[in-house]
Amino acid sequence: MVFTSIIIVNWNTKELTARCLRSIYENVSPDFEIIVVDNGSTDGSAEFIRQQFPDVRLIENGENKGYARANNQGLKAAQGDPIVLMNSDAAVMSKDPVGIILKIFEDHPDIGIVGAKQLYPNGKIQSLGRQFVSVKNLVKSQLLFAAAPVFIKDSGRKMIEVDYVDGAFLAIRRQVIEKIGLLNENYYMYAEDMEWCASARDRGWKVTVLPEIEILHEHAASSLKRYRDILVYNAVNICRFIAKCEGTDEAKKAFYVLMAGMLLRIPLSLVRPGKSKLALDYLVGFKRCYGLLNHLGPILKGKEYETCGD
């Protein structure tokens, strides 16, 4: 019997995770399993899920092991094919998305990964797939405050080939995982989905978005709780990806661009309503990135580093 595994990583997003789970039960056809990996939550998430959603397979971590490692725990436990990764702050808005994905995989054996149209809570398009990050588009987004070329316009097509899709909703064939391996745990969180899609494309599989599948995505609901850490993880992991694709010199340029972007956002945060507390996060993020500069070469090659310490 063909069935699908859906993996959700939760960290202190109890209510959003509950919404995500309800949306799956309401919109996904039978023959699926849900695996929730709780990353050391302290908001009672694990007990809540156990009581309210007894059919969910719950994996409990005593600490936050990061997005990539937690998803890998779910991937190792998953029995279905295909496998869908969902963020806890996402919700399924379309009927029978898995049925649509299965049909695409059946009709197009060269497609290895499928994403969806991701929407902000106000209904505006957040993403229809993304382009791989580069120094050029980082300069535009971080320094010039221009929209980086990461959004692909909805042209009415039923299928759009893209560089990569966000892990907020990512369906992948088991066969692809067997060829490219699990998520790279050196990434901890952020950019692991981009690298995964790049690895699949390198092996000859296409990565596509199906606009008819709509996913509501709050975006960074849990990561904003530790934003200064996220700034560092994001900077390092983006540059690790660039180092892998374009070399260390380009990656170092990108790191400086991202640091400059943090500095520019300090005064902007102070004058934006409700955003003043982010100014300190940007300052701390910049200081931590600055502290990594003497070790940047090895870090870009995968050496572990510590984000803690203000």
Provide the residue type at 169 as one letter. Answer: F
Region of poorest pLDDT, from 23-32, 172-181, 250-259: 23-32
Distances (CA, A) of 29 to 26, 76, 101, 131: 8, 23, 12, 31
How large is the average pLDDT for residues 232-240? 94
**What pLDDT shows up at residue 265?**
95
**What pLDDT shows up at residue 302?**
81
Percent of the chain residues past pLDDT 70, beyond the cut: 92
**What pLDDT shows up at residue 149?**
46
How large is the average pLDDT for residues 240-266? 95
Residue 85, beta-bridge partner list: 7, 170
> What's phi and psi for 142, nearest 5 deg?
-90, -35
Region of poorest pLDDT, from 69-73, 155-159, 273-277, 285-289: 155-159
**Greater pLDDT, 157 or 296:** 296
**What pLDDT shows up at residue 148?**
44
Q: Residue 303 — left, alpha, or beta (φ > 0 → left; ψ -120 to 50 → alpha)?
A: beta
Give residue-wise pLDDT tens across range 94-132: 999 999 999 999 999 999 999 999 999 998 888 899 999
Distances (CA, A) of 66 to 197, 233, 269: 19, 10, 27
CATH of 4-217, one of 3.90.550.10, 3.40.50.10490, 3.40.630.40, 2.40.50.100: 3.90.550.10
Give residue-wise pLDDT tens across range 34-47: 999 999 999 999 99
DSSP state of 166: -
Residue 6, beta-bridge partner list: 34, 84
**What pLDDT shows up at residue 147?**
58
Indicate the pTM of the whole model.
0.90
Region of poorest pLDDT, from 147-151, 201-205, 206-210: 147-151
Q: Measured in whole angstroms, how far is the alpha carbon of residue 281 from the centre of its chain?
A: 21
Region of poorest pLDDT, from 110-114, 176-180, 229-233: 229-233
Count of all residues that appear for the chain in the document: 310
> What's phi and psi for 116, nearest 5 deg?
-130, 170
Would you say residue 2 has pLDDT above 80? Answer: no
Work out the mean pLDDT of the chain and round it to a whole number: 91
Instruction: Report the alpha-carbon distance of residue 307 to residue 231 in Å, rounded.
Output: 9
